[in-house]
Structure 1
């Protein structure tokens, strides 16, 4: 195909061999490239005026965009006007109901002698690969938030023991704008994971239609291609924020490619600039958030806007409003009602009353930092304020049998 972009690894080798004094004939033969192709990229390299080290420091996406822009003089005005239309089109496609065909019709209104539908789609695909090699999923505004942990941990100083401790790096990203949140947390345990997910929702100031975690043990109890079992606490969080949990499908890397790509970028923009092992968790997170702000406000490759600008203009208004109260993690415990009409919450070693009709029944206790709820066969039979003082009875008089009420009186 005419003007097809050569693989970036080959272009790197062309520049390397040329810098080392190899002839164009040798480079052409060794890399199985035509002599005209070799001449073309050597010429572009000389026009750019960059050193071989500067070329090696760039990512494949940056290098491809650099060579494409340098060769832009050879692009016809008709094609250039089409490429100028694509950044706006990409943003519009993130809105619900907008299709490529719809945008092609708008393009023809502006350029009546422009490309027809098939060529329009073809060039959009080429443009998408140039400015973002992983642009293969069309994310709608406010639709999904992807969450995951980085493979590489961070480290902090434990203030009590003075020891060096490893901490986890949590990342959340909105699909349409790529607006990103990150924080360090003590573990990947259920409580820390759920709290990090909620912190991300609060950071975005709105709730997406769905949260997409990887198949973490803290998110998914049992993996399945058809109906994975969601952790009960994460399901409670989703109910509180009126959203849905959609675990990434096993063996489907595209389901989580966006957040994994974000992690790779944050390795370069955050990890490399952190003062690890010299501060506590709060100080580390403060550093992370400062660097994250710079990352979100940095212009996207090949586009005239940043993640933050895209979020404010296109995605924020599509998120569901937040509830006033934050989510409280609920823990559960099981017990048998004692003869005196109370059940023991073993974690605090204290007792709570239930209606006397449930004496000797097996019940479930759901408790948060502030409340204790008692259930029998899915029906709530009692609710109390949580009392942390051990060996104390919390009693509602109406729960007692009439004779016990008389004695208590």
Structure 2
């Protein structure tokens, strides 16, 4: 528990990053991240940990594991699947929200594993038959960037465009101006 208190102190009072803390307490960065994540999820700060003591801190950060026979609350997989389609939403973010609502719920690895299993059963394929060079498929990749022309006071929002010839091996990436 001394390492956990030291981890919290280094982060809160000295502003050390994960790697710096790992060097000081002689632990792996993964372990430090785990300590910080557990403390964040439990809402525990360094001052509270010092006041309450090591035993209290251990009970809060490392609760006893639930027996395997206990049913854990299952997330709404359809909701999770829908949310993942939104920009900047990750499985980790959705798991954190789920874990806050259900502290005794699935751990991250089980959450990901069960979601992957659920998602594999969702049929998302659509067969399309094309004549060679009949169609061109276009995809905008990722977030957009702003391009500014100071001489003409012109500003454009640009996305990276990738088009693929379905029967050829060529792919072209270029900037394509989007309507503002």
Please indicate the TM-score interval, normalised by the length of the shorter structure.
0.3 to 0.5
Task: Name the larger-Rg structure.
Answer: 1
Using the size of structure 1 for normalisation, the TM-score is 0.19
Please give the TM-score of this superposition, normalised by the length of structure 2. Answer: 0.37
